Structure 1
Amino acid sequence: MEKILIVEDNKTLAKLIARKITETLKFEVDIAYTLQEAKLFLKAYTYFITLLDVNLPDAPHGEVIDYVLSKKQHVIVLSANVDKEFRKKILQKEIIDYVIKGGMDDINYIIQTIDRLYKNKQHKVLVVDDSMVTRKHMKTLLQNLFFNVITVAHGEEAIGMLETHSDISLVLTDYNMPVMNGLDLTREVRKSYTKNELSIIALSSSEDSEINAMFLKHGANDYISKPFSKEEFSCRINNTVEARENLNLVTNHINRDYLTGLYNRAYFFAHMNDYRDEIALSPETYALAMINIDNFKMINDTYGHETGDNIIIHLSEVLISTTNYRDMVARFSAEEFCVVLKNVNRFSAEDIFERLRKEVQKSYVLSDNGKEIQFTISVGVTISGEESLQDNIDQADMMLYKAKQEGRNQVILMS
Structure 2
Amino acid sequence: MKVLIIDHDEASAAVARKRLSQEHIEVLCAHDGQDGLTMAAATKPDLILLDVSLPRVSGFDVCRRLKSQPDLAAIPIIFLASADDADERARGLELGAVDYIAKPFDDVELEARVKATLRTKHFADMLSEYAEVDPLTDLPNRRAMARQLRKEWACLRRKGPPFSFILLDLDHFQAIIDRHGHIAADRVLKEVARVISSQCRRLDTLSRYNGQEFAILLPNETVASGNRVAERCRQAIEQMSLHLKDGDIHVTASLGVADTTGAESLQGLIEMADRSLHEAKAAGRNTVRCANYPLAA
- Normalised to the residue count of structure 2, the TM-score between the two structures is 0.67
How far apart in 1 are the matches of 2:200 and 2:219?
14
| Superposition deviation, residue 158 in structure 1 | 1.0
Q: Does 1:244 align with 2:244?
A: no
How far apart in 1 are the matches of 2:15 and 2:27?
12
| Superposition deviation, residue 357 in structure 1 | 6.8
Match of 1:395 in 2: 276
1:127-181 CA distances to partner (integer Å, 9 max, x unpaired)?
112333333332233333333322222211111112322x322111223333333
Match of 1:346 in 2: 223
Residue type matched to 2:36 in 1?
Answer: A
How far apart in 1 are the matches of 2:51 and 2:71?
20
Residue type matched to 2:114 in 1?
Answer: I
Task: For residue 210 of structure 1, give the secondary structure of its aligned residue in structure 2.
Answer: helix
How far apart in 2 are the matches of 1:237 and 1:346?
47
Q: How does 1:92-107 map to 2 (within 5 A)?
A: none
Q: Does 1:380 align with 2:256?
A: yes
1:92-128 CA distances to partner (integer Å, 9 max, x unpaired)?
xxxxxxxxxxxxxxxxxxxxxxxxxxxxxxx322111
Q: 1:244 to 1:376 in 2, by over 3 A?
A: farther
Q: 1:354 to 1:143 in 2, by over 3 A?
A: farther
Task: For residue 382 of structure 1, give the secondary structure of its aligned residue in structure 2.
Answer: strand
Match of 2:26 in 1: 148
Q: 1:288 to 1:158 in 2, by over 3 A?
A: same
Task: For residue 69 of structure 2, give the secondary structure of its aligned residue in structure 1.
Answer: coil
Match of 1:186 in 2: 63
Q: How does 1:66-215 map to 2 (within 5 A)?
A: 123-165=1-43, 167-193=44-70, 197-215=74-92
Give ranges in structure 2 of 5+ residues lacking alignment: 244-250
Contact 1:379/1:403 (<8 A) preserved: no
Q: 1:211 to 1:186 in 2, by over 3 A?
A: same
Match of 1:19 in 2: none
Q: Does 1:332 align with 2:209?
A: yes
Q: Which has the higher contact order (CA 8 A, sep 6+)?
A: 2
Task: For residue 332 of structure 1, give the secondary structure of its aligned residue in structure 2.
Answer: strand
| Superposition deviation, residue 342 in structure 1 | 5.7
Q: 1:383 to 1:225 in 2, by over 3 A?
A: closer
| Superposition deviation, residue 267 in structure 1 | 6.7
Q: 1:341 to 1:402 in 2, by over 3 A?
A: farther
Contact 1:190/1:219 (<8 A) preserved: yes
Contact 2:208/2:214 (<8 A) preserved: yes
Q: Does 1:291 align with 2:168?
A: yes
- Normalised to the residue count of structure 1, the TM-score between the two structures is 0.51
Match of 1:233 in 2: 110
How far apart in 2 are the matches of 1:288 and 1:193?
20
How far apart in 1 are the matches of 2:150 and 2:50?
35
How far apart in 2 are the matches of 1:353 and 1:322?
16
Contact 2:60/2:92 (<8 A) preserved: yes
Contact 1:285/1:345 (<8 A) preserved: yes
Give ranges in structure 1 of 5+ residues lacking alignment: 1-122, 368-374
Count of residues in Structure 1 that have an aligned counterpart in Structure 2:
276
